[in-house]
Amino acid sequence: MAKKLKVIPLGGLWEIGKNMTVLEYGDDMIIIDVGVAFPDDDMFGVDLVIPDFTYVVENRAKLRGIFLTHGHEDHIGAVPYLLDVVTAPIYTTRFTAALVEHKLQEKKPANKVDLRVVSPGDTVAAGCFSVEFIAVNHSIADACALAIETPVGLVFHTGDFKIDTTPVSGEMIDLARIGQLGKEGVVLLMSDSTNVERPGMTMSESMVGERFRQIFKDCGKRIIVASFASNVHRIQQIVNAAVEANRKIAFSGRSMENVLEIGLELGYIDIPRDALIDITEVKNYPKKRVCILTTGSQGEEMSALYRMAFDTHKQVKISDGDLVILSANPIPGNEKPVYRLVNELFRKGAEVVYERLAEVHVSGHACREELKMILSLTKPKNFMPVHGEYRHLAANAELGISTGIPRQNVFVSEIGRILEINRDGTAKLGGTVAAGKLLVDGLGVGDVGSVVLRDRKHLSQDGIIVVSLALDSETAALLAGPEIVTRGFIYAKDAEQLIVEMKDVTVEALEDCRRSGVNDWMTVKSEIRSALAAFISRKTKRSPMILPMLLDVEL
């Protein structure tokens, strides 16, 4: 039977984040990106969401390499967890490698790390695959697309990208190389879909720098800027505006401080020595001579800006002498915490500038015209949109069809679904592999599932009642109790009569069991739970979790 190339997304489709794709041919397999997603509101207590690695683990003997397109969390965040269960060399560019190294220091994986740094233009052999790194523009340094030579033809994966004709770094996306690959023939294009609903072209990052210079000029207030820590080009432009306005620059927030250290070490950030001060020193300077770069653009509760706004930051408190700039758009799902933070900043008297009021942020993702340009340059035989919710993938698919790709060659897939490509370039969606999401809660990976989440949701909505009884181990006679403790259900001191009635219902249910000859304690617990649930529902219209605890006492 002729071999086929298998393209298997394990994340990043029908969702934002958790990007991960497997390419497999015969006895060789490579992985593109290993990202995380952040928990939804109904994932109580969960820290991170990572891809299900089951298929990779089952085929780990085939794994020849892991290729990372850039250093955002939704593309590298799950690397330590993957290296707990498999081992393979990791190939990526310099800045991304530095971020991965820092991540691996925080969470040391079980397996040995083999991290290999490449540059745009380099090509890496990995089994039957040959992977070329191609420079693209994005909201982070050293982002790359991947041109993957396979036995069935060239697969082009854009990674996250935009076309920036005036990039801060000076290095524009390599459209010439992409066009050359298109002339040679692309059997499959996988393209970022995040901004497909936006018309036109994405604004250049350098436009933000100009806006910052305008804001900083003649501003008499302390300026506090919240941005994504990984966007070193944005940080550099803020630094340039601050230096030009003769301000001292301080950093606050762990991720911002970490990236500052990496950026300075690798030369991605340049700050005059006399301009950089520690956050503890800001009180020593007039407000109009200070600029603070901080985390918190997404309203995260533990972030530095959040703590400044709610008076829990040790060095900085927001007041009417501050200008706060949120240099980022809310990630989908983060709108409520972001605007809660904005409201608090206004309440403290600060002047607040954010995306709705001024052009202090531009996206790192391609809009429709840029996506169409990549489609036109690559002229792919087959097209599979990636990176986005279903509506993004569907819109990108229609964009591909509008550029001339036959509808039957455009595939809106889903995680776990196999796209099979033959040697003649024909493709079709095939079967599925194990795929989904693993929830990370503290040190636990995958031990929080739907049952635990259901219980946590129940507890958050209705609270819990614990009923304790001591029973004779032989006769099941009540020796002590029942004692009732409630949490999150009702304030006990305000419901003493209800507690008394709950005790009576418990004793009555216990007596019913004795009269019926029921001596199986699991059944006794069930009867007590059912009787209490019915009583509480009738009295309060609530449904708390009820936990009967029976203590077996030998006399």
Q: How many CA atoms lie within 13 A of 264 on its CB side?
A: 11
Dump strand ranges (E) for 167-285. Answer: 188-192, 222-226, 248-252
Fold that domain 463-553 belongs to in CATH = Ubiquitin-like (UB roll) (3.10.20)
516: Cβ contacts below 8 Å, ≥ 6 apart: none
φ and ψ at residue 414, rounded to 5 degrees: -150, 165
Amino acid at 494: D
Sign of CA dihedral 64, 68, 69, 74: positive
pTM of the entire predicted model: 0.82
Size of the chain, expressed as the number of residues it contains? 555
pLDDT confidence band for 332 (50 / 70 / 90): low
Determine the Cα–Cα distance for residues 268 and 92; give it in Å rounded to an integer: 17
Confidence at residue 442, expressed as pLDDT on a 0 to 100 scale:
58
454: Cβ contacts below 8 Å, ≥ 6 apart: none
Domain ranges of the chain: 5-200+363-440, 205-353, 463-553
Please report, rounded to a whole number, the percentage of residues in the chain having pLDDT higher than 70. Answer: 90
Catalytic residue flag (residue 174): no
Confidence at residue 548, expressed as pLDDT on a 0 to 100 scale:
83
Determine the Cα–Cα distance for residues 316 and 350; give it in Å rounded to an integer: 13
Amino acid at 527: E
> Tens digits of per-residue pLDDT, 336-348?
888 899 999 999 9
Average pLDDT over residues 416-429: 95
Catalytic residue flag (residue 512): no
Q: Indicate whether 8 pLDDT > 90.
A: yes
104-108, 232-236, 383-387, 507-511: least confident range? 507-511
Of 45 and 298, the structure prediction assigns the larger pLDDT to: 298
> H or E element: which one contains 184?
helix 175-184
Going by C-alpha positions, the residue among 220, 203, 469 that lies closest to residue 321 is: 220
Confidence at residue 546, expressed as pLDDT on a 0 to 100 scale:
84
Are 224 and 212 a contacting pair, CB within 8 Å? no
Confidence at residue 355, expressed as pLDDT on a 0 to 100 scale:
65
Confidence at residue 129, expressed as pLDDT on a 0 to 100 scale:
98
Are 35 and 72 a contacting pair, CB within 8 Å? yes
Tokens of residue 83, six digits: 């290296």
| Strands 115-117, 123-126: pairing kind | unpaired
Catalytic residue of the set 361, 365, 387, 392: 365
Residue with tokens 């700050």: 271
The Cα angle at residue 63 between residues 58 and 64, in degrees rounded to 5? 175
Confidence at residue 436, expressed as pLDDT on a 0 to 100 scale:
83
Catalytic residue of the set 192, 233, 313, 441: 192
Determine the Cα–Cα distance for residues 335 and 75; give it in Å rounded to an integer: 22
Confidence at residue 457, expressed as pLDDT on a 0 to 100 scale:
62
> H or E element: which one contains 255?
helix 254-266
φ and ψ at residue 122, rounded to 5 degrees: -75, 150
> Tens digits of per-residue pLDDT, 101-157?
998 988 888 888 899 999 999 999 999 999 999 999 999 999 999 999 999 999 999
Confidence at residue 31, expressed as pLDDT on a 0 to 100 scale:
98
> Tens digits of per-residue pLDDT, 510-537?
878 777 777 777 787 888 888 888 888 8
Are 170 and 354 a contacting pair, CB within 8 Å? no
pLDDT confidence band for 3 (50 / 70 / 90): confident
Q: Indicate whether 383 pLDDT > 80.
A: yes
Of 442 and 75, the structure prediction assigns the larger pLDDT to: 75
Are 116 and 90 a contacting pair, CB within 8 Å? yes
406: Cβ contacts below 8 Å, ≥ 6 apart: none
Q: Indicate whether 247 pLDDT > 60.
A: yes
Q: Indicate whether 446 pLDDT > 70.
A: no
Q: Indicate whether 476 pLDDT > 90.
A: no
Q: Indicate whether 501 pLDDT > 90.
A: no
The Cα angle at residue 103 between residues 97 and 105, in degrees rounded to 5? 105
Residue with tokens 């040697």: 423
Q: Indicate whether 358 pLDDT > 80.
A: no
> H or E element: which one contains 144?
strand 144-150
C-alpha dist (Å) from residue 58 to 52, 63, 85, 89: 12, 10, 10, 18
Q: Looking at residue 326, what DSSP letter applies?
A: E
pLDDT confidence band for 195 (50 / 70 / 90): very high
Class level of CATH domain 205-353 = alpha beta
Determine the Cα–Cα distance for residues 549 and 137; give it in Å rounded to an integer: 60
Confidence at residue 483, expressed as pLDDT on a 0 to 100 scale:
82
Are 63 and 32 a contacting pair, CB within 8 Å? no
pLDDT confidence band for 20 (50 / 70 / 90): very high
The strand pairing partners of 546, in sequence order, are 465
- Per-chain mean pLDDT for the chain: 88
Q: Indicate whether 22 pLDDT > 60.
A: yes
Of 403 and 459, the structure prediction assigns the larger pLDDT to: 403
Dump strand ranges (E) for 407-498. Answer: 417-421, 427-432, 437-441, 444-445, 464-472, 478-487
96: Cβ contacts below 8 Å, ≥ 6 apart: 68, 69, 70, 71, 76, 142
pLDDT confidence band for 444 (50 / 70 / 90): low
> Tens digits of per-residue pLDDT, 46-90?
667 889 899 999 999 999 999 999 999 999 999 999 998 999 999
Q: Specify whether domain 5-200+363-440 bears CATH 3.60.15.10.
A: yes
> Tens digits of per-residue pLDDT, 268-286?
999 998 999 999 999 999 9
Confidence at residue 106, expressed as pLDDT on a 0 to 100 scale:
84
